[in-house]
Structure 1
Amino acid sequence: MRIRSDSLNAQITKNVKINYLLSFPEGYGEDEEVKWGLIIFLHGMNMRGEDVTKLKSYGIFGIGQGLSLPFVIAVPQCPSESYWNMERDAVMALVTELTTNHRIDSSRIYLIGYSMGGYGAWDLAINYPETFAAIVPLSSGGQVSKAEQLKDTPIWAFHGALDDIVPVDQMSKMIRTVEQYSSNIKLTIYPDLGHDIMESTLNNQELYTWLLEQRRLT
């Protein structure tokens, strides 16, 4: 028997599919020269499935009236029994699709994620550090060992001090680690809230004003 070592270098094609909702800001399309920021919102675990319509009044689409949201907003749905890190290729394909076919400013692509979606936001930004202008993870933690990948990514994180599903220490540890490499980081901890902090966070106009200030340098 003769045993030899060898290597394979081949290009493969992967088919991906993901359902999503899409909204456009007031004034979109009126001026062909204007490009808009894009928010990708990643939902939590209990909204997984194959019926994307149940996301119409959830999360960023369920916020109160009167806020100024000058963004194109996309809300993909994670399939049943899957997780956002498993749908990484599908989400990135969606970003490519939207920036190619709509008036999106590719230097202003933002990630907001809640709970499982917060973990997804950390994961995507770590694996694609040159794509996102800022991330906003809620009620989650990240991969501490890969925190250096976020050195150029502005972050505003949110967590409830009384969270009994994802302990606040998970978020605090991730933030402390990223702070070793970056200074554009903020952490808001709600002292009287638990895991569900979406309403308090997404109804805050200051968050969207901050996002508008963030731009990926190209």
Structure 2
Amino acid sequence: MTIQPRSLSVEITKNVQIDYLISHPEGYEDSTHEWGLIIFLHGMDKRGEDVSQLSSYGLLEIVNEGKLSLPFIVAVPQCPSESYWNMERDAVTALVDELITIHRVDPRRIYLIGYSLGGYGVWDLAIHNPRTFAAIVPLSSGGQISKAEQLKNTAIWAFHGANDEIVPLEQMTNMVTAVEQHQGNVNLTIYPDLGHDILRTTLSNQELYTWLLEQKK
């Protein structure tokens, strides 16, 4: 897989720009097949204006290692310094639209994965775009309980460490419970011996990607 830097500039109500990295799966260039798309949202310490720092972090680190089967287009945007993913909602939504247009993305198989700050962003984006994402994977985070009904038709697999001292487990369990109350399709994995940093443990699990492939809008 080749990781390529890109920058997206779109005009919505104001100028919106977001830098991102993109990786195509093995076989992409040799087929006309449409692929699932994963948008990965990073944590707070990766905010900034140097998108290259994401090339060996999180999901792209897993892609680089090549040990797992990841038949997806993977896009990793960078949240600017002093910003948060809910403030970049329009930019990420525009990025998804552009990727569908210029790459061979199956619009029924668009997925969100996010860790910590990115996990909050995953909940937020899915709530505000309930028809876009076939599945979301929030890690070490919580969401807007009052808007959980918006997620009743989105498959969710959430992950959290029981010993998380940065984001209390209660934030995740409360959000999961709220989705369940609206008969949503949600699963929660709690790591009994882990704290906040569950990123590599979660992303190294082939079962996660097998599950994603089963989810379609």
Please report the TM-score for the alignment, with normalisation by the length of structure 2: 0.92
SS in 2 for 1:164: coil
Displacement of 1:183 in angstroms is 4.2
1:16 aligns with 2:16: yes
SS in 1 for 2:138: strand
CA contact (8 A) 2:151 2:184 kept: no
Q: What are structure 2's unaligned runs of at least 5 residues?
A: 1-11
> Where do 4+ consecutive residues of structure 1 move more than 3 Å?
none
- The verdict on how the C-alpha distance between 1:143 and 1:183 changes in structure 2, with shifts beyond 3 A counting, is closer
SS in 2 for 1:17: strand
Could you tell me which residue of structure 1 aligns to residue 49 of structure 2? 50
Letter in 2 for 1:109: I
Could you tell me which residue of structure 1 aligns to residue 61 of structure 2? 62
**Equivalent runs, 1:53-202 vs 2, <5 Å:** 53-63=52-62, 64-202=65-203
CA contact (8 A) 2:153 2:184 kept: no
Q: Residues of 2 paired with 1:135 and 1:44: CA distance?
A: 16
CA contact (8 A) 1:84 1:120 kept: yes
1:209 aligns with 2:177: no
Q: Residues of 1 paired with 2:67 and 2:195: CA distance?
A: 26
Displacement of 1:30 in angstroms is 1.4
Could you tell me which residue of structure 2 aligns to residue 5 of structure 1? none
Q: What are structure 1's unaligned runs of at least 5 residues?
A: 1-11
SS in 2 for 1:26: coil
Displacement of 1:65 in angstroms is 3.4
User: Structure 1, residues 121-167: CA drift from partner, whole Å, max 9, x if none?
Assistant: 00000000000000000000000000000010000000000000000
Q: Residues of 2 paired with 1:16 and 1:105: CA distance?
A: 25
Q: Residues of 2 paired with 1:182 and 1:212: CA distance?
A: 22
SS in 1 for 2:183: coil
Q: Residues of 1 paired with 2:189 and 2:41: CA distance?
A: 19
Superposition RMSD in Å: 0.9
SS in 2 for 1:211: helix
Q: Residues of 2 paired with 1:104 and 1:129: CA distance?
A: 18
Q: Residues of 1 paired with 2:13 and 2:201: CA distance?
A: 42
Tell which deviates more after alignment, 75-84 or 54-63. Answer: 54-63
Displacement of 1:83 in angstroms is 0.1
SS in 1 for 2:29: coil
Could you tell me which residue of structure 1 aligns to residue 27 of structure 2? 27
CA contact (8 A) 2:42 2:58 kept: yes
User: Structure 1, residues 24-66: CA drift from partner, whole Å, max 9, x if none?
Assistant: 000003122x100000000000000000000011000112431
Give aligned-pair identity as a percent. 72
* Number of residue pairs aligned between Structure 1 and Structure 2: 204
Q: Residues of 2 paired with 1:204 and 1:156: CA distance?
A: 13
SS in 2 for 1:18: strand
User: Which entry has the higher C-alpha Rg, 1 or 2?
Assistant: 1
